[in-house]
Structure 1
Amino acid sequence: MTRTTKSVFVTFVVLVVVAALGFVYASPYIALDRVKRAADARDAQTVNEYVDFPALRDSLKQQVTELLTRRIDIQKSGNPLAVIGAMIGAALVGPLVDSYATPDGVAAILNGIPPRGNPGERPPAPASVAAGSGTDTAGSSANAVTNGTGSPTVPASGLASGQEAPKPPQTTAGYRDFNTFVVTYQHGAGDARYSAIFRRSGLISWKLVAVDLNG
């Protein structure tokens, strides 16, 4: 092998390694884009490939229960009717979790519409979620903020009584550690945030496993 041939071979190997590392780094962004598109299209088979539903269900149950517990604690010294409403909501945690641990719920979570713990709350209808979606999240740089990432306009039928349609959220996506990738949503300065949490499932495979309603 001549010196020129060796140089070409080494250059080729380096390029392949760099490309492979780049693909590994970008893999959670690609997974996020694919699962969001699949959820918006209600492609249950593809959604199942990118969502660990048992883990997501456990996370939703814990997060919604903690949300309602905090709400009751805050309202104990306030309006008794508000406390009763929060207690009713706590009794409905199971149905709420069941409704969000679905492709409809995944689509809502990834479009900036998390559960709020309101009585009778369900994810919005498929058409309303898909209407504003279509943002290409793959290829985004870590910690890049994107405004107007396709949050839908939700009709009254998809919201609990008195709940307003959300504004388009700001999203921040990036690695928390080598095996954890977090997408954080916030509708405006000072507003509450929440996060969708992906966990590595293999070298380049990722699954949505949890939500953090505290941001």
Structure 2
Amino acid sequence: MTEARRSDKLKSGLLISLAMMALIAWLSPYWSIAGLIRSATLGNSYEFSEHIDVVSLRESIKGQATAQLTRNISSKSASGFEAFGSALGIMMVDKIVDQFVTPAALSSAIKKSIGKSGAEQLPTRIALTVRLLQRGDVRWSSANIVYVGSQDLGRFVFRRSFLSWTLVAIELPPDAFES
């Protein structure tokens, strides 16, 4: 009888452990995104930089900018000056993105967009996580990729690194480079 009881306890303990692990894995992107928002708003660029992969983020923005500028050159409606400006832009996009896409610059941009009053009234990380869950902004692409935002307005791409998530790309809206 004790052997059967011990086996049942072991099975139920294992099921509870598996359920907890699944819940933690499912909540982990929300928790990481809330940490990114909180650290940026508080101006903690060191903690903020732990939530982003700067190299991947820069490459994503460079690729999108270069692709759009290349389309501008190849479009039949582009004048000579537009084509020349796009070609010049292609040559400069690497340096411009490298200069402006830094943890400190991104953290500062987020902090400025929220404003001073937003930083003073910033909810806890748990409250931010709950808010993300309620709004439904996070979309799973696979077990290792989640998107925050929409394709029409632009979205952030996060990649799993065990239980933490890092920002690896920003997908700009389709009309981001149009004047």
Same fold flag (TM > 0.5): yes
Distance 1:129 1:18 in 2: 38
Q: Aligned in 2, Cα 1:173/1:71: closer, same or farther, shift over 3 Å?
A: farther
| Equivalent position to 1:213, from 154, 157, 172 | 172
| TM-score, normalised relative to structure 1 | 0.60
Tell me which residue corresponds to 1:174. 139
Distance 1:92 1:2 in 2: 72
Tell me which residue corresponds to 1:197. 157
Higher-Rg structure is 2
Q: Aligned in 2, Cα 1:68/1:27: closer, same or farther, shift over 3 Å?
A: same
Tell me which residue corresponds to 1:25. 26
Tell me which residue corresponds to 1:77. 77
Q: CA deviation at 1:2?
A: 8.0
Residues paired across the two proteins, number: 165
* Correspondences of 1:7-46 after superposition (within 5 Å): 10-46=11-47
Q: CA deviation at 1:54?
A: 1.5
Tell me which residue corresponds to 2:148. 183
Listed as ranges, the gaps of 5+ residues in structure 2 are 175-179
Distance 1:127 1:175 in 2: 26
SS of residue in 2 equivalent to 1:33: helix
Listed as ranges, the gaps of 5+ residues in structure 1 are 109-123, 147-171, 187-191
SS of residue in 2 equivalent to 1:138: helix
Distance 2:100 2:85 in 1: 20
Tell me which residue corresponds to 1:151. none
8 Å contact 1:99–1:105 — kept in the other structure?
Answer: no
Distance 2:66 2:38 in 1: 29
Distance 2:98 2:77 in 1: 31
Q: Aligned in 2, Cα 1:128/1:45: closer, same or farther, shift over 3 Å?
A: closer
| TM-score, normalised relative to structure 2 | 0.69
8 Å contact 1:194–1:211 — kept in the other structure?
Answer: yes
Determine which structure has greater relative contact order: mean sequence separation of CA pairs < 8 Å that are 6+ residues apart, divided by chain length. 2
Distance 2:42 2:71 in 1: 35
User: Is 1:55 aligned to residue 56 of structure 2?
Assistant: yes
Flag the structure with higher helix content.
2
Tell me which residue corresponds to 1:138. 129
Q: Aligned in 2, Cα 1:30/1:127: closer, same or farther, shift over 3 Å?
A: closer
Once superposed, what is the RMSD of the aligned Cα atoms? 3.4
Distance 2:106 2:147 in 1: 15
8 Å contact 1:42–1:103 — kept in the other structure?
Answer: no
After superposition, give the CA deviation of every residue in 1:18-46 in whole Å (9 maximum; x if it has no partner): 12211111111111111122223332221
Q: Aligned in 2, Cα 1:73/1:38: closer, same or farther, shift over 3 Å?
A: farther
Percentage identity across aligned positions?
A: 24
After superposition, give the CA deviation of every residue in 1:164-199 in whole Å (9 maximum; x if it has no partner): xxxxxxxx322111111122346xxxxx43222111
Distance 2:61 2:23 in 1: 32
Distance 1:96 1:17 in 2: 47
